Amino acid sequence: MSTIERPAGTPRNEVAIGGHAELRNSLAELAERHDLSEPARRFVLSYYDDVPVAQIGDRDTIDLYGAALSHWQLLAERPEGTTRVRVFNPDFEVDGWQ
């Protein structure tokens, strides 16, 4: 996974500031910067739609993006009809999110 960089001037947490709509906007900007495929982009943008703001409001938007993208990548690597589990502890300096 490549390192994810925070765009200059981006607040640490758009969820706490503007709720799901602001989070989707920030995730869309990050997806565009990282040139995600359309299916990956749709996955990342909808990943937190049903999660209460109270549960993610204190998370850094970069971390939310990284977690959703990591799950997409795990799905992309999973052969059909198999179960795949990965234990992953991201490091900000290496992965760009934590």
Q: What is the mean pLDDT of residues 91-98?
A: 76
Give pLDDT, residue 3. 54
The pLDDT score that the predictor gives to residue 23 is 87
| pLDDT at 1 (0 to 100) | 47
Global pTM value:
0.71
Residue pLDDT, tens place only, 39-57: 999 999 999 988 888 888 8
Q: In whole angstroms, give the CA distance from residue 94 to residue 98.
A: 9
> What is 55-70 written as a DSSP string?
HHTTS-HHHHHHHHHH
pLDDT at 46: 93
More confident residue, 6 or 37: 37
> What's the distance, CA 20 to chain centroid?
13
